[in-house]
Amino acid sequence: MGLPVVVHLPPYYAGSLGLDIGVVGLIFFIVRIIDVPLDPILGVLIDRSKSRLGRFRPWLGGGAMILFAGVLAVFFAQPGISGPMAFAGLMLMYVGYSVVLVSHMAWGAVLSDDYHERSRIFGWWMAFNMVGMLAILAVPPASAALFGADRATGIQTMGIIIAAALVPTIILNIVAVPERLSRSDAGHAHGWREMVDAFRMPLLRRLLIVDLLANLAPGIAGALLLFFFEAARGYTPAQASLLLIPYFVAGLVAAPFWMALARRTSKHRAILWAVGLYMICQSGTLFIPRDDMALASLGMALAGIPYVAPAFLLRAMLADYSDAETLRSGKEQTGLFYALLTAVQKLGYAIPVGLTYPLLGLIGFDPSLGTANSENAITALTFLFIVPPVLIAGIGGLIIRGWPITAETQARNAEALAARS
One-letter amino acid at 98 equals S
| 411 Cβ contact partners less than 8 Å away, ≥ 6 residues apart | 115
188 phi/psi in degrees, rounded to 5: -80, 170
The single-letter code of the amino acid at 347 is: L
Q: Which amino acid, 299?
A: G
Number of structural domains the chain divides into: 1
At residue 404, the pLDDT reads 93
Per-residue pLDDT of the chain in tens (421 residues, 90 and over written 9)? 877 887 788 888 887 787 888 888 888 888 878 877 788 888 878 877 777 888 889 999 999 999 999 999 999 998 888 888 999 999 999 899 989 988 998 888 888 888 888 888 888 888 888 888 888 878 877 887 787 667 788 888 999 999 999 999 999 999 999 887 655 544 444 455 766 777 788 999 999 999 999 989 988 888 888 889 988 888 887 788 788 889 888 988 998 999 999 999 999 999 999 999 999 999 998 888 888 899 999 999 999 999 889 989 999 999 899 999 988 888 878 878 888 887 888 788 778 877 888 888 888 888 777 788 888 888 988 999 999 999 999 999 999 999 999 999 999 998 998 888 7
Q: Largest Cα–Cα distance of the chain, in whole Å?
A: 68
Provide the pLDDT for residue 82: 87
What is the per-residue pLDDT for 236?
83
Residue 419: predicted pLDDT: 87
Backbone phi, psi, residue 335, to 5° = -60, -45
Closest CA to 153 of 230, 76, 245: 76
For the stretch 358-363, contacts whose Cβ atoms lie closer than 8 Å and that sit 24 or more positions apart, written own/partner, are 358/21, 358/22, 358/25, 358/26, 359/384, 360/21, 360/227, 360/384, 361/20, 361/21, 361/22, 361/25
φ, ψ of residue 332 to 5 degrees: the values are -90, 120
- pTM for this entry: 0.75
Which domain, by its residues, includes 156? Answer: 2-420
What pLDDT score does 112 carry? 86
The CATH number for 232's domain is 1.20.1250.20
Q: In whole angstroms, give the CA distance from residue 414 to residue 280.
A: 38
| Torsion sign (Cα): 126, 225, 359, 84 | negative
pLDDT for 90: 92
